[in-house]
Chains A and B, each alone.
Chain A
Amino acid sequence: MISKLKALAAAIVMGLSVSGAAQAAGDYPINKPRHVDWTFAGPFGHYDEQQLQRGLKVYKEVCSSCHAISRVAFRTLADLGYSEEQIKALAAEYTVMDGPNADGEMFERPAIPSDRWPAPYANKEAAQAANNGAYPPDFSLLAKARAVERGFPWFVFDIFTMYAELGPDYIYSLMTGYTDEIPEHYADQIAEGTYFNPYFKGGPALAMPNILSDDLISYDDGTPATVDQMAQDVAAFMMWAAEPKLEERKETGFRVMVFLAVFAGMVYLLKRRVFASVAH
């Protein structure tokens, strides 16, 4: 019986594992993403509020001049440990278009917590025009929309190691991956206005220059603002933006798994008892 169950489990795993390879092979990225030991990984993973606050600061002071995060409402920043007053004050730093008012006029007003984060550009075309034709992607879902193919057999192991942080690992690797030492092989493939990065999955170079440098910003909690630190913090913040319910999901999951396991164990004992007097 047990061996049959094992065979069944193996069949399920093999069936599932095909999907991990769902992305087609390519020559890029040149280097596989590097792994970070995220606090939100694993069955009991949770966001580090301090890290998210630091990540927010990186986004606000650096990234937000080009990248929108338009699906995130200010009110959700309560997840990061901010009080209602702090959120109100932060929202009020931004203006949003509202209206029409009673006179039929559109008007600008300071943002309130229920507003979503205003984008730096009026529309996609304006963003492209300002960035050499390249659209700086919205951050709201980026941590779930970017993943480097794992390849066989890693995608099978990922099921058992519960590895689901491909997005933040990719973002971190990209942010820390810029280098001036361009291998000769790629030197003539770098288009004008693009920057070599061996971790970029779309080619040898991308339109975004290397923005981060040590002490570019200063953290409120005194953490030294190294490039590595800022890249980790902003990637964690982007993971939160893409998956704000992650903690609730994992906490609920643990309860569900324990319930199902105990229930299954009880039903198994019942099953043994029912079949005890019957050869089958």
Chain B
Amino acid sequence: MSGHSTYQPTSGLGKWFDARMPLPRLVHDSFVSYPVPRNLNYAYTFGGILSIMLIVQIATGIVLAMHYAANTAVAFSSVEHIMRDVNWGWMIRYMHMNGASFFFIAVYLHIGRGLYYGSYKAPRELLWILGCIIFLLMMATAFMGYVLPWGQMSFWGATVITGFFTAFPVIGDWLQTLLLGGFAVDNPTLNRFFSLHYLLPFMILGVVILHVWALHVTGQTNPTGIEVKHKTDTLPFTPFATVKDAFAMLLFLLVFAYFIFYMPNYLGHPDNYIEADPLKTPAHIVPEWYFLPFYAILRAITFNIGPIDSKLGGVLAMFGAVLVLFVVPWLDTSKVRSAAYRPWYKMFFWLFVVNALFLGWLGSRPAEGWYIPAMQLSTLYYFAFFLVIMPLLGLFETPRRLPNSITEAVLEKTKSKGGAAPAAMPAE
């Protein structure tokens, strides 16, 4: 898709730069003339939305760090200082706090779109894996960030989650001590988490650049899953993708703003407005909502599997639930990319979505009664979707007839709508 550059510097300054360091050319080729499939729908706007969210998080985070103090004696009070005394501190903090949640909402929708339209399939495996790395880094960043306000859930969440590492044989205890900087969550933990919480977003930014680079080499997929074949299959990024992305971003920001300004604490936990107390365990320790499906998977393993005890089994299942995403490109055996032409995959996919939401709800429940078998069944389907259904469906499913090209698919759709098909082909 790279093709040769159509950038023509017009001004003297533009020519001067182009001869020395063609950054304007790079921007022009990547975000102006860059060809995108003409049939992209709104599911393809989350990449842009995620870039905005990363910028929001970094910008608000840098301001918060100017007023926050990473010391157990004053951390909680410094957050309250931001909320009460810093000019617009309440807004910056609520943006950052809800920004984490909306970052995850966008990333889950982005990943879901990838799974639905088969975006991970060759030649986009590396693009997908880079995305998985970003997701892992996001999880680490969010977890450490949640510890910083030093509320009850911060402290006890950190205690529970770092406790997972003790499940690993031989190195487990050493690993946990290294993470905590001691034998329990305390000041050294808070200090290193703050340091890493500041570092990781810039690592995310680095991997995002690689992710976008890989995307611009292979080009975007599209709802038909057919590769771009002709010039008529594409539209220039600007104005077409730009304006559509901008509209989607504004809608997303509208929902984001609704939560920041009207329900800023809805996505949080009330216990985090109580200062951390190592002597008082909350009645139920739960992670942030975006980790709940994985928390349910962790607690679903209540039985030993051979030499693996239930604790290690739970931890492996939880990490496995994320790591399995990395190998999805090789688990899916289907020759057809898009679920739009795969009736069975489509059904299993939506079942997977419902199951993931159900797992999230189960993650908020205590591990008792009927919740446990429900967690186990849900976990089973989660893994079966990737490890059994994906490989087998490709072999047994009969896909629907594929159109010959993106242009044909688009024109067919326009015709069936009965609308007058615009005659004009996209502008060059």
CA distance A278 to B353 in the complex (A): 33
Using a CB–CB cutoff of 8 Å, the interface residues on chain B facing chain A are 38-43, 77, 80, 83-84, 90-91, 94, 101, 105, 108-109, 112, 235, 239-240, 243-244, 246-247, 250-251, 253-255, 257-258, 260-267, 269-271, 273-274, 283-284, 286, 288-289, 292, 353, 357, 360-361, 363-366, 410-411, 413-414, 421-422, 424, 426-427
A23 touches B286 (CB 8 A): yes
- Given the interface contacts A18-B289, A260-B257, A274-B243, does A12 sit within 8 Å of B105 by beta carbon? yes
Using a CB–CB cutoff of 8 Å, the interface residues on chain A facing chain B are 1, 4-5, 8-9, 11-12, 14-16, 18-26, 43, 71, 76, 140-141, 144-147, 152, 158-159, 162, 164, 166-167, 202, 242, 244-245, 248-250, 252-254, 256-257, 260-261, 263-264, 267-268, 270-271, 274-280
Q: 5 tightest CB-CB pairs across the interface, nearest first?
A: A253-B261, A19-B289, A24-B284, A264-B250, A145-B273
- Name the prevailing secondary structure of the A interface residues: helix
CA distance A141 to B76 in the complex (A): 11
Q: Which of A43, A145, A249, A280 contacts B264 (CB 8 A)?
A: A249
14 more contacts with CB within 8 A, not counting A260-B253, A271-B243, are: A8-B43, A16-B289, A18-B289, A18-B361, A19-B266, A23-B269, A159-B263, A245-B83, A253-B258, A261-B254, A264-B247, A271-B244, A274-B239, A278-B422
- Name the prevailing secondary structure of the B interface residues: helix
A264 touches B254 (CB 8 A): yes
- Given the interface contacts A26-B283, A278-B38, does A144 sit within 8 Å of B109 by beta carbon? no
Q: Which residues of B contact A4 (CB under 8 A)?
A: 41-43
- Given the interface contacts A260-B257, A279-B421, does A267 sit within 8 Å of B246 by beta carbon? yes
B286 touches A141 (CB 8 A): no
Q: Which residues of B contact A146 (CB under 8 A)?
A: 270
Q: Which residues of B contact A254 (CB under 8 A)?
A: 261
Q: Which of B77, B266, B426 contacts A20 (CB 8 A)?
A: B266
- Given the interface contacts A257-B254, A279-B410, does A15 sit within 8 Å of B262 by beta carbon? no
Q: Which of A141, A253, A275, A278 contacts B80 (CB 8 A)?
A: A141
Chain B nearest Cβ from A267, distance in angstroms: 5
Closest Cβ neighbor of B412 among chain A residues: A279
Q: Which of B83, B247, B424 contacts A278 (CB 8 A)?
A: B424
